[in-house]
Amino acid sequence: MPQTYIEKILRAKVYDVATETPLDFARSLSERLNNHVYLKREDLQSVFSFKLRGAYNKMSLLNAAERSCGVIAASAGNHAQGVALAAKRLGINALIVMPTTTPEIKIKSVKAMGAETVLFGDAYNDAYQHAHALAAESGRVFIHPYDDPDVIAGQGTVAMEILRQQTGDLHAIFVPVGGGGLIAGVAVYAKFVRPDIKIIGVEPDDADCLNRALQANERVIIEQVGLFADGVAVKQVGEEPFRLAQRYVDEVITVNTDEICAAIKDIFDDTRSISEPAGALAVAGLKKYVEREQAQGQTLVAIDSGANINFDRLRYVAERAQVGEHREILLAVTIPEVPGSFLNFCKLLGGRSITEFNYRYFDAAAAQVFVGVSSSGLEADRAALIGQLQQHGFAITDMTANELAKEHIRYMVGGHAPCELNEIIYSVEFPERPGALLKFLTELGGRWNISLFHYRNHGAAFGKVLMGLQIAPAEQTAFQQCLQDLGFVYKEETFNPAYRLFSGGAAK
């Protein structure tokens, strides 16, 4: 079986459209990690992603009858552009089904290559189901983004290039994982040629479909996946990729949003290029591996898989990168509401830079301060600072890992409500498209009084709202049902310490 894949990879016709991308030495990252780190620059492909390799290889193998029927695919971005470009080069009519939340820049890019587009549903799964229905009606050939041997073989050419470019020591290759097509192709080729090389997958911790499948020894479906790294936001790993991963992948590392943002910054520092979140996954995993294993002097390769990122998202990435590098500590601090207390607090910080300082008068006895402080990057530094402040009598709540604090509270103004409101707090995700926020509020229908509301556009496919509502206990089930009927992901945050300390009502 491996022999079949090796032959497919060696015969893949990807270079009709793809280029052999460089394996760049990441000097700054290497010096910081004390290892030899290389980046496989798939972000430099003409569609800014590796996806055109698999799409073209699959479509180049279609016979004349299949080509005459045309092709169809479902994608929110990279696969769509790969299929569109392949279709243009091969003279095949292509139809791409994209979620309605797809950014206009990606829709225009697909259309510019001559493909037709249909917008359907809020997420990839909706578009995927619709594309299959259209394929059955029209006779078009469905081009799967990852669960197809010819697509996997096309992606496997990435490994063929890496091993040709790095003929000396190579300890591990880190691969971003969504549906699994890339890691399946890379693993089967690399293990055949160099079985000593570790193949390590990297997934977001809120979209780790391969990690969970390997643990369960069967494919599992994730009910709700995180959407920050939208290029890998897949609920279930592909059947064929999973079969290959079970045999050839050494392990899977999961990383959080802050670690991905830090990796985007790392890649920028070394290359002056900006990766998309999914594209930076492998670097985030590589860093975590080095820290866990205390690795030194090893040769490590991370696949930078794509650069299709909306400009609007860069603000969010920059904000979260500091925390992801462990270079910003976020604290809620209670200090006496007396003259000079701010000064005493700041003196304890010594030479540290203050990245953020939020305060509003609320209580005559004590002040609640939300503060961001620079850090050395070592985990022990945060514990040392908290311990020092506590020794001097300051009550501290560590907010560095509190998602509500990072996503909403640090940007909110106005402080506490003037009185106890008996409000229930929810964080809600909804599809980010024109009129979506208005529709969301309209659907609530004025049934419940909104007592708190915070929303920020991050240029992503889904928006995030923090909302307080005055709901009688008997009505909470009806409200939750309303959100479920709308298909929105929600979480109650009423008892989150970030809300309680900085936005809750006056009564205690």
Per the residue annotation, which of 40, 51, 265, 464 is the catalytic one? 51
Give the C-alpha distances (Å, rounded to integers) separating 118 from 105, 111, 126, 242: 15, 11, 12, 30
Q: 364 in helix, strand or coil? A: coil
CA 109 distance to own-chain centroid: 22
- Based on the residue annotation, tell me whether 51 is a catalytic residue of this protein: yes
Distance CA 3, CA 9 (A): 10
Q: Are 257 and 402 in contact (CB under 8 A)?
A: no
Query: Which amino acid does the sequence have at 25?
Result: F
Structure tokens given for 374 = 């620079």
**234 — phi, psi (to 5°)?**
-115, 135
Distance CA 2, CA 107 (A): 37
Per the residue annotation, which of 49, 75, 109, 305 is the catalytic one? 305
- Give the DSSP H/E element, type plus range, for residue 470: strand 462-470
Query: Which amino acid does the sequence have at 80?
Result: A
Structure tokens given for 427 = 């964080």
Rounded to 10 degrees, the C-alpha dihedral 275/277/280/285 comes to: 170
- Give residue for tokens 């830090």: 262
- Based on the residue annotation, tell me whether 106 is a catalytic residue of this protein: no
Structure tokens given for 306 = 């794509």
Query: Which amino acid does the sequence have at 97?
Result: V
Distance CA 184, CA 147 (A): 10
Give the C-alpha distances (Å, rounded to integers) separating 367 from 103, 333, 501: 43, 8, 10
Rounded to 10 degrees, the C-alpha dihedral 199/202/207/212 comes to: 40
Query: Which residues make Cβ contacts (< 8 Å) with residue 497, sequence separation at least 6?
Result: 332, 397, 399, 402
What amino acid positions are annotated as catalytic residues? 51, 305
